[in-house]
Amino acid sequence: MSQSRLTALILLSPWILSFLVFWLFPLVYSLVMGFTDYRLVARDWTWVGFDNYRSLLQDGAFRSSIENTLVFVLGTVPVTTILALGMALLVNRQFPGRGLFRAGFFMPSITAIVVIALIFTNLYQRGGYIATLAEMVGVTPPQHGWLYNEGTALYAIMAMDVWMAVGYYMLIFLAGLKSIPEELYEAARIQGAGQLRQFFSITLPLLRPVALFILVINSIKSFQVFIEIFVMTKGKFDTASMVYFVYETGLTTAFQFGYASAAAYVLFVIIALFSILQFALLRRRQSLW
Amino acid sequence: MKAVIIAVLAVTFLAGAAGAATTIEWWQFWTDPAVKPVIESMVADFEKANPDIKVKLTDLTWANGHEKIVLAFSSGTAPDVVELGSDWIAQFAANDQLADIGPMVSVDSAQFQGWGLSTYKGAVYACPWILGTRVLFGNRDLLTRAGFDTAFYPINWAQLKDAAKRIQALGSNLYGWGSNTAEKHRLYKKYLPFFWSAGAQIFSDDGSMCVVASSKAVQALRTYQELHDSAGYVDTQRGIEDAFLDGKVGFIISGDWLLKRIELENRKTNLLSTFVPGPTYPGRSFLGGEYLAISKDSDNKDAAMRLIRFVTSPENQVKFCKANRSANPSSLAAQDDPYFSSSLHLQTFIAAIRTAEHPPVDPDWVYIEDILEKAVEDAIFGSHLAGDALLEARYKIEELKGLR
Amino acid sequence: MVRTIIRAAGRYLVLGVVLVIMLFPLAWMFRVAFMSPGSSIALGSLFTGDFTLGNFTDLFVSGSIGRYLFNSAFVAAVVTLGNIIFCFMVAYVLARRAGFWMKAFFATVVLVLMIPAHILIVPLYVLMLKTRMYDTYWALILPWLVYPIGIFLVKQYLEAIPPSMEEAARIDGAGEARILLTVVMPLCKPALAVLAIQAFFTNWNSFLFPFIFVSREELRTLPVGLAHYQGQQAIDWQHLMAGSAVAVLPILVLFVFLQRQIVSGITAGGIKQ
């Protein structure tokens, strides 16, 4: 091997090793495990083909975890995106104190999710701040708090998630807004277009790629929601997400590695399909313009 | 000359062998500062009485102890003696991880209570050590405020519901019933006493059907639901205990650790303790406990058994119970110790354990637990009817056990 | 004139409301962290309540939070350093060399970026068990030494820099290692700074894998330690918030000083897409 080839290989080795050991191997291993009944408690395992997948279809807990995850994604992603855009518009122009507001809006995004989940566990308590706020606007909070209630627990977590994420996506929108050339707005103003018209004709269309990017990465992240659920409800009250299902089935009590691996792959396929769907739908709309 | 050398070698070899101590490993869960010294002194006493055995003690926490034990068995590094919760035994036994100790314990079986929980498919896999049950605790001050006699205690569901509602009606942030939130492996344990007191069972006597949806079971769940809806203070186990000890809740179901808390925290709760009531008196509570098992792959089973016998002897059980304020030694001789008749509340526990019911010893119990738990949660926190929730549980359990 | 004032006032009002909503929970956390245990945490008490350092001392003395803090800092530092070195190495090759294999390797980077991490939960757990890395610092560090996003970042940055300086150094007879260290790395400082910040933040706040791979108390990082505090049920809100404050404070301090780099790191990724 030539000297430079060898050097290249050495330089690439950290990634090659990392990829092989911590990504490729687990991916394949997990796929194989999904076809076995491998459990930690048992002394050995057997090949069961598609049995795990068949059982998953009939597993009420699995089905409801898919349902909960879909509700979570469809509920938080659009709302977060719209609110993030709104916030970006608010702090886009220069004004005194802009940096402070921008930083303040962004702060929840850099705080560890565990901490936020702990804080909100208290805020959502029976008699807590959010309950008091609700009563002030005439909404009766659930008897035992927002989290100890199947009807509201998931939505409470979703609201917290939106709150946590908006700052992050606001920054991305801000960068997108900055990349729109001023001349376009000038031209529009000369032609007599008002602010609203400018927004819909210039800003939105040109933000489309950024918005698409945000929708896709936010969706992928949201499909994997786990920490909040683990800290706040341990999956109870109809809040178990798919990743929580994988964790609970595979790494607690019965340690059913095979079954959990199969579930993880189903989640993977769902995420992939969803992302492809998003790309297809949103890309096509652009060409219609 | 050669003979002398051989003789010397032989003697030194034998002496060495005789003097070499076997080391056995014991994993146990009692790590809190009030109790750990007792465990350590027990081990020291044992080593003194058995100079050929050394004991290596390892601590486990309730948070991840089960996981550690599972990991140890799967990687072949399990200890000789391991403390197991009663509901874990069947799964380990079914997976061939525990030694069959039947032959070793046949002599002393009559002196202990609780063998039912450690017998699987006719073989015995663990020795009962400290048992546990649940009783109904009440706050006498709140009862008096609600107009009850100082000697009152609820003897059936009707009286319990009535008392809880009357305490709830006292208003001003007072609640009648400490109701568990959906905590894994805790909520259903509060329902089961109601379930068993009503005479319901999980499986039919011949084991061919799952009968969790019987009318008795539904009645029991409805009663629990009523308590929860009309007078419930919902929180984690710790939360409702805190509130109860603070005098804000009228009744809770709890175990003997509550007595320990009261003593260690110097609480002045005017306590009432009685059996968890059923539709009639008395109710049947939940039997569980800590057991000591020997791992199948252990090389020192005899030494392990000696340690177990020592720890579970009546004297050592009483010593342990005194330190931990436990109220349910498994040794019948220990149960008769005057320590337990010294307090009304300890007596309640001793009496309760004699009539308590235990869950089926089934390796799938973990999954059945989950199913039952889901049913109770759906009925209490979701909007399912008790009957529907239990029926769904029945179908799932029968599916799981292949009974359909 | 009046209209502009009203409009400005309106804008500041909206901004103010949003700011309060965004910051109140964090402010609440910091306030409660300094209140004595058992005291009321109702809204009024936030103003009238006391101010004590007791919770923090409790946590450091009997609560192991010092250990958690050390673990978080140690692991994050090692991971960040590793990422700086390794991502740089890999990105250099991918940026400067062409050909089928380079494209293939880069494809693996992009692939990994797109695969959700949850699929690794079970197999990595089993891997850690079998290699006896479970419950050791190795498990907390090794899988995260080369973040694909890091490779991405540095590669893009390098591609925008012409290789003229490296070629000049090569003509002068300098060895590859010397060139990398003395010529290219200094050129990459901005990208490496962004990478370091991203790596540090991501690792400091991470919970899922540190939680799964470690069970001993001595090895827990801050987020994992906090979750266990909560699980213990013997802890009150004041102490829990004090622990949370310890977990959040270093990040907030870093944020104040490194705001620009943090923001540019996030937006760089967004725009390039």
Whether the CB-CB separation of A214 and A173 falls below 8 Å is answered with: yes
| Cα gap B391→B389, rounded to integer Å | 5
| Cα gap C201→C217, rounded to integer Å | 22
Indicate the residue of A7, A12, A264 with minimum beta-carbon distance to C118.
Answer: A264
**Residue keyed to tokens 């392990």:** B304
CB contact under 8 A, A16 and C126: no
Per CB-CB distance under 8 Å, the chain A contacts of B67 are 252, 255
pLDDT mean over B379-399: 91
| Cα gap C188→B14, rounded to integer Å | 72
- In B200-259, the residues whose Cβ lies within 8 Å of chain C are 236-239
Whether the CB-CB separation of C206 and C139 falls below 8 Å is answered with: no
Q: Where are the beta strands (DSSP E) in B248-333?
A: 249-254, 271-274, 288-294
CB contact under 8 A, A40 and B70: yes
Burial A221-237 (b: 16+ CB within 10 A, else e): bbbbbbbbbbbbbbbbb
Which three-class secondary structure state does DSSP give residue A70? helix
pLDDT mean over B34-40: 91
Residue C273's pLDDT is what? Answer: 42
Instruction: List pLDDT tens digits, range B90-108.
Output: 999 999 999 999 988 887 7
Strands B175-180 and B119-120, sheet pairing? unpaired
Partners of B120 in the β-ladder: B123
> What is the nearest CA distance from C37 to chain B, expressed in angstroms?
14
Indicate the residue of B64, B67, B238 with minimum beta-carbon distance to C233.
Answer: B238
Residue C19's pLDDT is what? Answer: 95
Read off the tokens for A164. 């946590």
Read off the tokens for C23. 């910051």
Any C CB within 8 A of B64 CB: yes
Per CB-CB distance under 8 Å, the chain B contacts of A252 are 67
Residue A286's pLDDT is what? Answer: 52
Grade residue C44 by pLDDT with cuts at 50, 70 and 90.
Answer: confident
Nearest CA in chain A to C120: A26
Q: ipTM for the complex?
A: 0.89
Using alpha carbons, select from C117, C101, C69, C61 the residue that is nearest to residue C221.
Answer: C69
CB contact under 8 A, A148 and B381: yes
Nearest CA in chain A to C43: A129
Residue B11's pLDDT is what? Answer: 61
Whether the CB-CB separation of B249 and B152 falls below 8 Å is answered with: no
> What is the nearest CA distance from A12 to chain B, expressed in angstroms?
35
Question: Which site among B59, B61, B185 would you substitute to test the C interface, given the most C Cβ atoms closer than 10 Å to its Cβ?
Answer: B61
| Cα gap C273→C270, rounded to integer Å | 6
Instruction: List pLDDT tens digits, range B339-377.
Output: 988 889 999 999 998 889 899 999 989 889 989 999 999
Per CB-CB distance under 8 Å, the chain A contacts of C108 are 15, 19, 23
- In B299-358, the residues whose Cβ lies within 8 Å of chain A are none
DSSP code of C217? G
The set of residues, in sequence order, having a beta carbon less than 8 Å from that of A223 and lying 6+ positions away, is A69, A73, A242, A267, A270, A271, A274, C116
- Phi/psi at C94 (nearest 5 deg)? -65, -30
> What is the nearest CA distance from B59 to chain C, expressed in angstroms?
11
Residue A279's pLDDT is what? Answer: 79
Indicate the residue of A41, A43, A61 with minimum beta-carbon distance to B70.
Answer: A41
Which three-class secondary structure state does DSSP give residue C197? helix
DSSP code of A224? T
Indicate the residue of B67, B236, B237 with minimum beta-carbon distance to C215.
Answer: B67
Instruction: List pLDDT tens digits, range A207-238.
Output: 888 898 899 889 999 999 999 999 999 999 98
Top mean pLDDT of A31-45, A154-168, B180-194, B252-266 is at A154-168
Nearest CA in chain C to A13: C90
User: Residue B390: how many CA atoms within 13 Å on its side-chain side?
Assistant: 23
Whether the CB-CB separation of A150 and C61 falls below 8 Å is answered with: no
Per CB-CB distance under 8 Å, the chain A contacts of B234 are 126, 143-145, 148
Query: Angle, nearest 10°, between helix axes C222-232 and C65-96?
Result: 140
Any B CB within 8 A of C160 CB: no
Residue A289's pLDDT is what? Answer: 41
CB contact under 8 A, C118 and A220: no
CB contact under 8 A, C233 and B64: no
CB contact under 8 A, C28 and A123: yes
- Measure CA B253 to chain center: 14
Using alpha carbons, select from A222, A223, A209 the residue that is nearest to residue A279.
Answer: A209
Whether the CB-CB separation of C226 and C243 falls below 8 Å is answered with: yes
Whether the CB-CB separation of B139 and B272 falls below 8 Å is answered with: yes
Whether the CB-CB separation of C122 and A260 falls below 8 Å is answered with: yes
Rounded to two decimals, the pTM is 0.88
CB-neighbour burial class of residue A182 (10 A; exposed 0-12, middle 13-18, buried 19+)? exposed
Grade residue B126 by pLDDT with cuts at 50, 70 and 90.
Answer: very high
Per CB-CB distance under 8 Å, the chain A contacts of C125 are 250-251
Residue C207 has pLDDT above 70, yes or no: yes
CB contact under 8 A, B238 and C234: yes
Per CB-CB distance under 8 Å, the chain C contacts of A108 are 22, 25-26
Residue A224's pLDDT is what? Answer: 93
Residue A254 has pLDDT above 50, yes or no: yes
CB contact under 8 A, B381 and A150: yes
Per CB-CB distance under 8 Å, the chain A contacts of B74 are 40-41
- In A182-221, the residues whose Cβ lies within 8 Å of chain C are 209-210, 213-214, 220
User: Residue B130: how many CA atoms within 13 Å on its side-chain side?
Assistant: 21
Residue B119 has pLDDT above 50, yes or no: yes
Residue B207's pLDDT is what? Answer: 83
Any B CB within 8 A of A51 CB: no
Give the mean pLDDT of chain B: 90
Q: Where are the beta strands (DSSP E) in B126-183?
A: 126-132, 135-139, 175-180
CB contact under 8 A, A107 and C212: no
Per CB-CB distance under 8 Å, the chain C contacts of A123 are 25, 28
Per CB-CB distance under 8 Å, the chain B contacts of A249 are none
- In C113-132, the residues whose Cβ lies within 8 Å of chain B are 129
Compute CA distances B224 → A33, B157, B279, C149, whole Å: 42, 9, 12, 53
Indicate the residue of B96, B183, B396 with minimum beta-carbon distance to A43.
Answer: B96
Region of A88 please: left (phi>0), alpha (psi -120 to 50) or beta.
alpha
| Cα gap C269→B178, rounded to integer Å | 52
> What is the nearest CA distance from B38 to chain C, expressed in angstroms?
22
The set of residues, in sequence order, having a beta carbon less than 8 Å from that of B111 and lying 6+ positions away, is B314, B331, B332, B333
CB contact under 8 A, C231 and B63: yes
pLDDT mean over B270-291: 91
Read off the tokens for B222. 């409805």
Whether the CB-CB separation of A255 and B70 falls below 8 Å is answered with: yes
Which residue pairs, CB below 8 angstroms and at least 24 apart, start in B243-246? B243/B175, B243/B178, B244/B137, B244/B139, B244/B178, B244/B269, B245/B269
Grade residue A276 by pLDDT with cuts at 50, 70 and 90.
Answer: confident
Whether the CB-CB separation of A38 and A258 falls below 8 Å is answered with: yes
Whether the CB-CB separation of B52 and B21 falls below 8 Å is answered with: yes
Question: Which site among A126, A150, A232, A244 would you substitute to test the B interface, given the most B Cβ atoms closer than 10 Å to its Cβ?
Answer: A150
Question: Which site among A64, A67, A236, A247 would you substitute to test the B interface, given the most B Cβ atoms closer than 10 Å to its Cβ?
Answer: A236
Using alpha carbons, select from B107, B101, B132, B104 the residue that is nearest to residue B119.
Answer: B101
Residue B303's pLDDT is what? Answer: 93
Residue C43's pLDDT is what? Answer: 76
DSSP code of B283? P
Instruction: List pLDDT tens digits, range C77-136.
Output: 999 999 999 999 999 999 988 889 899 999 999 889 888 889 999 999 999 998 999 999
Residue B14's pLDDT is what? Answer: 59
Strands B175-180 and B249-254, sheet pairing? parallel
| Cα gap C20→C1, rounded to integer Å | 28
